[in-house]
Amino acid sequence: MYLISGTLFIIASFFIFISNYVLKQLSYTQFNTFIALVGFISLFMGAVFYYVHSNESKDKK
């Protein structure tokens, strides 16, 4: 479960970063800092879920 959630968070963060880049190219800079912050939070949450998954799978062995 944590592996799926972590993967979805990381994929979502890449889409957020791509959309942030596109908005920056279109000179729409009102929310770029907020969007980048959401992207980094999403990337961090993905890493946390991967870490929890790896520790959980080590405990089961």
Q: Could you report the per-residue pLDDT of 25-58, keeping only the tens digit for each? A: 887 777 778 888 899 999 999 999 999 988 887 7
DSSP state of 40: H
Task: Name the domain count of the chain.
Answer: 1
User: CA triplet 3, 44, 22: central angle to 5 degrees?
Assistant: 105
For residues 3 and 60, give the distance between their C-alpha atoms in angstroms, rounded to a whole number: 15
User: Maximum CA pair distance of the chain?
Assistant: 52
What is the span of the domain harbouring residue 6?
Answer: 2-60
Integer Rg of the chain from CA: 15
pLDDT at position 60 is 72
Predicted confidence at residue 61, as pLDDT, reads 61
Write the CA distances from 26 to 30, 39, 40, integer angstroms: 11, 19, 21
